[in-house]
């Protein structure tokens, strides 16, 4: 490399003379390090598919010919939404009632199960999978020709092989043919008898005829984080496929050379999401929603979450409080919320402690010691801070189409609320230290964004949809606005200097 170009050789460069091509400037290399992309990794698909068990979302295909039933590899990036429920990732279902499958059990472990004519060969992970804010990279690699039984089925999580517990008969016998790659119905996201997946999948690969390791699909970045890369697969084999979920009108489109498209069942274009492993977006937190019955807590911690944990509701006469998976302590952040019905019993806002016990109230109403909360209540338009009225804005919710925006400025410590793009109290989120129309909040505090729904005993499910950057089905975007970094899809213009709640923005501003 020439000594006067101020550059650094990238990871893919192999200089053969005194001057190397593909040189990074020092500034570019610094920016790449700060955003976690150094060493540089080639681009992958920028999408995921959002599966919702309530609408029986899945992909299916029946191979026309049987191929290698002993050896194959499945790789996929998975972000869970629902815990404590059996949820299939991939399987082949024999019409006689048997299967080969791998899935999350109701105990939140991974299980591989090959039921051969009523004889089960089953392996369980020892680790639990209960983080609903994270993407997991899962690899299931099978080769029953191996003489060592532990080599016949390997499971990797985020680049590392995990320990397996033998259940029933454990590892399949040597040279056993399974159901995967037979001429049976193959499904992603469901079992024939039910067991639908809830969550997100990204860059799903199936390689027919090879037992591969995770390095064919991922690599560690400069920060030691396991990151997706374009697959280094020599051949996908006859029944192999790759789903990048790039075509919103056909989420079952195979991106491998094979063209093994899957039938799309109930997934729509709205289920294509920009929430993917390299840029993880906030959702409502399912871990909190499933702690019903905890001593000392009133109200509902068991609200109905759906649509990738971006819709939260209740159909009973209690309160359902839901908060973002990500908390923020600095920077400027933007999110939108929308109600599903004409019922007007919602509140949207921020809270510092998602474990506060007095849940029999809307966000903004709690006066519990140690709890700080500010909320914009729909019925009377009041903005409350620890149950003290800060100002009265417009009512909302009765139209069933109103969108509430929250602009959270943690550089100057103010929060602003808007109804359908109009900031209440003549607010100006870009006013900085002046805080025009904003509500002052405490510094040095971690804040979570969220909502409260309450049924008032009326019939029907009351739902608040959250848009932290990628809206769920039911939150239709008619305009489309990204933040200043180009991330997110919002109905209204994101105020200058504010950003969507995603890991790339958090790495830069959080």
Give whole-number Cα distances, 484 to 127, 404, 466, 494, in Å: 39, 20, 20, 8
DSSP 8-state assignment for residue 24 = E
Express each pLDDT in 248-307 by its tens digit: 999 999 999 999 999 999 999 999 999 999 999 999 988 765 433 333 333 333 457 889
Determine the pLDDT at residue 344.
Answer: 67
DSSP 8-state assignment for residue 472 = P
What domains does the chain contain, in order, with CATH numbers?
1-40 (no CATH), 48-273 (2.60.120.200), 286-509 (2.60.120.920)
**Is residue 309 within 8 Å of 285, Cβ to Cβ?**
yes
Q: How far apart are CA 145 and CA 153, in angstroms?
A: 11
Determine the pLDDT at residue 11.
Answer: 38
Instruction: Tell me the H-state helices in 258-409.
Output: 286-289
Instruction: Name the CA radius of gyration of the chain, rounded.
Output: 25
**What are residue 388's phi and psi, to 5 degrees?**
-115, 125
DSSP string, 184-216: SEEEES-BTTB----EEEEEEEEEET----GGG
Determine the pLDDT at residue 484.
Answer: 97
**Is residue 73 within 8 Å of 211, Cβ to Cβ?**
yes
Determine the pLDDT at residue 19.
Answer: 40
> Using omega within 30 degrees of 0 as the cis cutoff, is the peptide bond preceding 39 cis?
yes
Chain-centre distance for alpha carbon 206 = 21
Residue 7 CB partners (closer than 8 Å, separation 6+) = 1, 23, 24, 25, 26, 29
Torsion of CA 306, 491, 250, 68, to 10 degrees: -50
> Which structure tokens are listed for 361?
């109230």
Q: How far apart are CA 397 and CA 292, in angstroms?
A: 27
| Stretches in the chain below the pLDDT threshold 70 | 1-44, 288-303, 314-318, 341-344, 354-360, 398, 455-461
DSSP 8-state assignment for residue 284 = B
3-state SS class at 367: coil
**Is residue 224 within 8 Å of 212, Cβ to Cβ?**
no
For the entire predicted model, the pTM comes to 0.89
Burial class from Cβ neighbours inside 10 Å (0-12, 13-18, 19+) for residue 227 reads buried
Q: How far apart are CA 299 and CA 314, in angstroms?
A: 11
Express each pLDDT in 100-145 by its tens digit: 999 999 999 999 999 988 899 999 999 999 999 999 999 999 999 9
Provide the total of helices (H) and of strands (E) in the chain, helices listed first. Answer: 3, 34
Residue 38 CB coordination number (10 Å): 20
Give whole-number Cα distances, 348 to 170, 364, 414, 435, in Å: 50, 8, 15, 20
Question: What is the chain's mean pLDDT, rounded?
Answer: 87
Express each pLDDT in 206-240 by its tens digit: 999 999 999 999 999 988 999 999 999 999 999 99
Determine the pLDDT at residue 461.
Answer: 67
**Is residue 77 within 8 Å of 276, Cβ to Cβ?**
yes
Residue 228 CB partners (closer than 8 Å, separation 6+) = 44, 77, 137, 202, 203, 217, 218, 277, 278
Determine the pLDDT at residue 319.
Answer: 74
Residue 407 CB partners (closer than 8 Å, separation 6+) = 332, 333, 334, 415, 416, 417, 418, 423, 429, 495, 498
Burial class from Cβ neighbours inside 10 Å (0-12, 13-18, 19+) for residue 482 reads middle
Instruction: Tell me the H-state helices in 237-307.
Output: 286-289
**Is residue 140 within 8 Å of 74, Cβ to Cβ?**
yes
């Amino acid at each position: 490399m020439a000594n006067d170009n101020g550059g650094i050789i990238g990871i893919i460069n192999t200089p053969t003379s005194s001057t190397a091509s593909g040189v990074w400037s020092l500034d570019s290399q610094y920016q790449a390090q700060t955003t976690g992309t150094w060493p540089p990794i080639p681009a992958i698909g920028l999408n995921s598919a959002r599966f919702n068990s309530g609408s029986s979302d899945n992909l299916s295909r029946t191979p026309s010919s049987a191929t290698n039933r002993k050896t194959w590899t499945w790789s996929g990036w998975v972000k869970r939404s629902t815990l404590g429920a059996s949820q299939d990732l991939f399987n082949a279902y024999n019409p006689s009632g048997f299967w080969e499958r791998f899935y999350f059990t109701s105990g939140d472990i991974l299980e591989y199960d090959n039921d051969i004519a009523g004889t089960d060969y089953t392996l369980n992970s020892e680790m639990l999978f209960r983080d609903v804010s994270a993407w997991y990279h899962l690899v299931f690699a099978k080769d029953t020709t191996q003489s060592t039984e532990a080599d016949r089925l390997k499971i990797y999580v985020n680049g590392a092989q995990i320990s397996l517990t033998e259940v029933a008969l454990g590892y399949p016998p040597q040279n056993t043919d399974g159901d995967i790659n037979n001429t049976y119905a193959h499904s992603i996201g469901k079992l024939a008898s039910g067991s639908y997946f809830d969550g997100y999948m990204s860059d799903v690969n199936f390689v027919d005829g090879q037992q591969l390791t995770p390095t064919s699909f991922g690599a560690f970045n400069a920060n030691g984080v396991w990151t997706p890369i374009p697959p280094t697969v020599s051949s996908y084999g006859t029944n192999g496929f790759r789903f990048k979920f790039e075509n919103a009108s056909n989420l079952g489109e195979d991106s491998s050379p094979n063209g093994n498209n899957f039938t799309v069942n109930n997934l729509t274009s709205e289920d294509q999401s920009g929430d993917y492993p390299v840029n993880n977006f906030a959702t409502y937190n399912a871990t909190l929603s499933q702690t019903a019955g905890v001593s000392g807590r009133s109200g509902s911690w068991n609200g109905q979450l759906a649509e990738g944990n971006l819709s939260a509701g209740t159909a009973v006469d209690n309160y359902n409080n839901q908060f973002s998976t990500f908390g923020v302590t600095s920077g400027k952040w933007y999110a939108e919320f929308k109600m599903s019905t004409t019922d007007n019993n919602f509140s949207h806002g921020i809270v510092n402690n998602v474990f506060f016990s007095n849940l029999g109230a809307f966000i903004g109403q709690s006066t519990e010691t140690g709890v700080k909360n500010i909320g914009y209540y729909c019925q009377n338009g009041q903005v409350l801070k620890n149950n003290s009225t800060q100002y009265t804005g417009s009512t909302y919710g009765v139209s069933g189409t109103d969108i509430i925006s929250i602009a959270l400025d943690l550089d100057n410590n103010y929060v602003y609320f808007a109804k359908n793009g109009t900031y209440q109290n003549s607010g100006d989120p870009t006013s900085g230290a002046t805080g025009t129309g904003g509500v002052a909040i405490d510094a040095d505090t971690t804040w979570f964004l969220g909502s409260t729904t309450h049924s008032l005993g009326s019939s029907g499910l009351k739902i608040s949809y959250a848009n932290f950057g990628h809206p769920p089905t039911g939150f239709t975007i008619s305009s489309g606005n990204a933040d200043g970094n180009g991330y997110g899809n919002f109905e209204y213009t994101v105020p200058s200097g504010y950003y969507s709640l995603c890991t790339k923005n958090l790495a830069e501003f959080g």
